[in-house]
Structures are given as structure tokens and as C-alpha cells.
């Protein structure tokens, strides 16, 4: 990400939900400020809640260099419900030509490679070609809401020729609303279309009844279904318990459930039939489906799906598979903790 920012010559559009503290917070701010001082038009959009931990000197450095910084949906007594609808997208677009998206935020947790519990496991991708316009569109949509300004012109939207390899790509975005969103519809349709395999990695896994049924229906068609979620290092225990409340139904229909061991698993990926894949900010929970603005990159490519599957296999090697019989014998207190999450499931 720092390399991509430092290579900017005309424009930078950067959107993040999390912007916390630590050395990396200063490194990213310094890189953005340096490009702004060099004459690059730098637009930074931060979720007003997710960036609350951002140090004041980091903000001051960027503002002093001419970076245009905006907060997305700050809390307001005039719009109390708005506070529950956040911008969870993670987007970087440089010169309208290079884009990045995935699950990575700006904090020390994302500065390693899952080598210990202090450094999380995540997936982020960099792309070129026409799909970058989709990433820019997702950023521009959020920027317009926050500022009332349109980001257009050749510096933001240059001509982009198709590239060899990589396969067809599309950026799917969704906005906070009531009811179904593009995020939920995308995952539901991907699961429903599977014929051979589904490999799902979700940092926050608390599926509703319809998606739980969709996974079981896929298994009923003979599809191998594997679900990978955080284990004991999960950073949100309540969400973990809500997800565990669905394990029994999933295990009963033959879905494999694995809990990642080394550290917090923050990736959000799905591969179907080894031919289609998605990487982005969407979790398998109601907050992603109806509470947050989200974005995910979809790719029809056996090569890309193969890369994600290889990573999935490496993750499984350091994960614990939930044994159906052992899970059936879990204690009353564990069951009670799971059941209690149903009261707040729609807000998770």
C-alpha cells in the first residue's frame, strides 16, 4: 500500500474504516502528505467512528500538507440512527490506474504476516485495468455523500485499456439500507450457483437463517462447503458466539467449520468451484448486509481462485476443525452464551 501511494503522480483517493495509531499510522500519513506537497490531489475519507483512535498529530500532518480529509457520517443528534450505518469500505485508487481493496485497515495489527497474536491475518489485493473505475466509483460515491463534490476528469478517470490475464472483474458495492443489499444478494447467488466447492473465509461470521440454509442447500447438492472463521483470538467475542450459534445446523448438514488458530483472522474471501472468487470488505453478518457501506472485488478466473484456494489450505493447516460429535456435547453454559446472542444478532 505504501509503495502504491508513493508512486502517485496525479491523484490519490483513499478510504478506510479503521485508522488507528502506531508507526504505520504515521507512515501512511507521511506518504500521503509527501505526495500532496508534490502537487498530487490527495483525497482521504475516513469513517467517523472507525477513525476515532486516530492521533491528532497524524491528522495535522496531512492537513498541513494540503491533503483533503473528510469524515464520513459523523455522529449527530439530528441523525441518531445514522451512527449505526458506517462506511466499511477499504479502497485505494492512485492516478485512476491502480486500485487496492480487501480487509486491511491502518493499524499495527496489519503490519505483519500472522506471525503472532499481535499481527492479524488478512487478504488485500492490487489491481489494474478497467475494474479500477469500479473502485473509483465506490470511493466517489462515498466522497459525494460526505462533501457534495464530484471527482471526475482525466486525472481521476483516465482511459484504461483491457489487460491480458486476470479474468473478467467487477466491483460490487452496497449501501446501508433496510432489507436486502447487493452484498447479501451477491453472496447468496454465489452460494446458490455452486456445483462443486465453496470456500468461505469470514472475519465476522454470524449468518442469518436464509444464508445458513443456503450453505446447507449447497451441501445437499453435493457441494463441498468449508467455512473458516476466527478462533480464540477473535477480537469480538460476541460475534464469535453468534456465529457458533449456527455451527450445529451447519455441522448437521455436513458443512465443515474451521477456527483459525494463530491470531485474529480478518480476511473476507469466497471462492466457488475453483473458478470464481471475491475479495473485499464484506463479512458474513447482518452488519455487512444491511448496516454498512461495503465493496468487494469479484473475479472470474481459475488462476485467482487458485491463489485464494492455496491460501485457504495454508490457513486450514493451522486451524481447528470443529468435530460434530464434540460440538454436540458442549456444555450448557456454552449453549446459553450462544443463544443469548440471538437478541442482538441483527446488529452484529
Interatomic CA distance for residues 320 and 258, integer angstroms:
5
Q: Which of 95, 199, 245, 293 is catalytic?
A: 95
Q: What is the DSSP letter of 141?
A: H
Q: Which of 41, 85, 88, 315 is catalytic?
A: 88
Note if 136 is an active site residue.
no
Answer for the pair 95, 239: CB distance below 8 angstroms, yes or no.
Answer: no
Interatomic CA distance for residues 308 and 297, integer angstroms:
13
Q: Which of 85, 90, 156, 233 is catalytic?
A: 90
Note if 273 is an active site residue.
yes
CA-closest candidate to residue 298, choices 132, 172, 129: 172
Q: How many CB atoms lie within 10 A of CB 220?
A: 12
Note if 88 is an active site residue.
yes
Beta bridge partners, 198, equal 225, 272
Answer for the pair 124, 149: CB distance below 8 angstroms, yes or no.
Answer: no
CA 217 to the chain's CA centroid: 25
Interatomic CA distance for residues 71 and 147, integer angstroms:
9
Q: Which of 233, 268, 285, 293 is catalytic?
A: 268
Q: Which of 85, 136, 258, 266 is catalytic?
A: 266
Sequence-distant (6+) residues with CB within 8 A of 314 are none
CA 53 to the chain's CA centroid: 20
Answer for the pair 51, 77: CB distance below 8 angstroms, yes or no.
Answer: no
Note if 315 is an active site residue.
no
The catalytic residue positions are 88, 90, 95, 266, 268, 273
Amino acid at each position: 500500500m505504501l509503495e502504491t501511494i508513493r508512486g502517485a503522480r496525479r491523484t490519490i483517493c483513499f478510504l478506510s474504516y479503521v485508522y488507528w495509531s502506531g508507526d504505520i499510522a504515521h507512515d501512511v500519513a507521511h506518504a500521503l502528505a509527501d505526495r500532496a506537497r508534490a502537487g498530487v490531489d490527495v483525497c482521504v475519507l475516513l469513517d467517523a467512528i472507525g477513525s476515532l483512535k486516530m492521533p491528532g498529530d497524524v491528522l495535522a500532518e496531512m492537513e498541513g500538507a494540503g491533503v483533503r480529509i473528510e469524515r464520513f457520517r459523523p455522529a449527530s443528534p439530528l441523525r441518531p440512527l445514522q451512527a449505526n450505518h458506517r462506511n466499511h469500505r477499504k479502497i485505494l485508487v492512485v492516478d485512476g490506474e491502480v486500485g487496492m481493496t480487501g480487509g486491511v485497515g491502518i493499524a499495527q495489527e496489519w503490519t505483519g504476516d500472522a506471525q503472532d497474536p499481535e499481527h492479524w491475518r488478512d487478504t488485500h489485493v492490487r489491481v489494474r485495468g478497467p475494474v479500477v473505475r469500479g473502485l473509483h466509483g465506490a470511493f466517489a460515491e462515498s466522497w459525494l455523500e460526505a462533501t457534495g463534490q464530484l471527482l471526475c476528469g482525466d486525472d481521476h478517470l483516465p482511459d484504461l485499456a483491457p489487460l491480458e490475464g486476470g479474468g473478467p472483474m467487477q466491483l460490487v458495492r452496497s449501501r446501508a439500507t433496510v432489507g436486502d443489499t447487493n452484498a447479501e444478494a451477491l453472496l447468496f447467488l454465489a452460494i446458490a450457483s455452486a456445483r462443486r466447492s465453496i470456500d468461505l473465509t469470514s472475519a465476522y461470521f454470524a449468518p442469518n437463517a436464509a444464508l445458513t440454509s443456503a450453505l446447507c442447500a449447497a451441501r445437499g447438492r453435493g457441494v463441498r462447503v468449508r467455512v473458516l472463521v476466527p478462533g480464540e483470538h477473535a477480537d469480538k467475542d460476541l460475534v464469535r458466539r453468534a456465529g457458533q450459534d449456527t455451527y450445529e445446523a451447519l455441522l448437521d448438514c455436513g458443512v465443515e467449520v474451521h477456527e483459525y488458530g494463530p491470531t485474529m483472522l480478518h480476511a473476507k474471501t469466497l471462492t466457488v468451484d475453483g473458478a470464481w472468487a471475491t475479495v473485499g470488505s464484506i463479512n458474513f453478518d447482518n452488519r455487512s448486509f444491511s448496516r454498512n457501506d461495503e465493496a468487494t472485488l469479484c473475479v472470474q478466473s481459475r488462476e485467482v481462485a487458485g491463489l485464494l484456494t492455496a491460501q485457504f489450505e495454508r490457513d486450514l493447516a493451522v486451524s481447528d476443525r470443529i468435530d460434530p460429535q464434540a460440538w454436540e456435547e458442549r456444555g450448557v453454559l456454552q449453549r446459553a452464551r450462544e443463544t443469548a446472542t440471538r437478541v442482538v444478532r441483527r446488529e452484529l
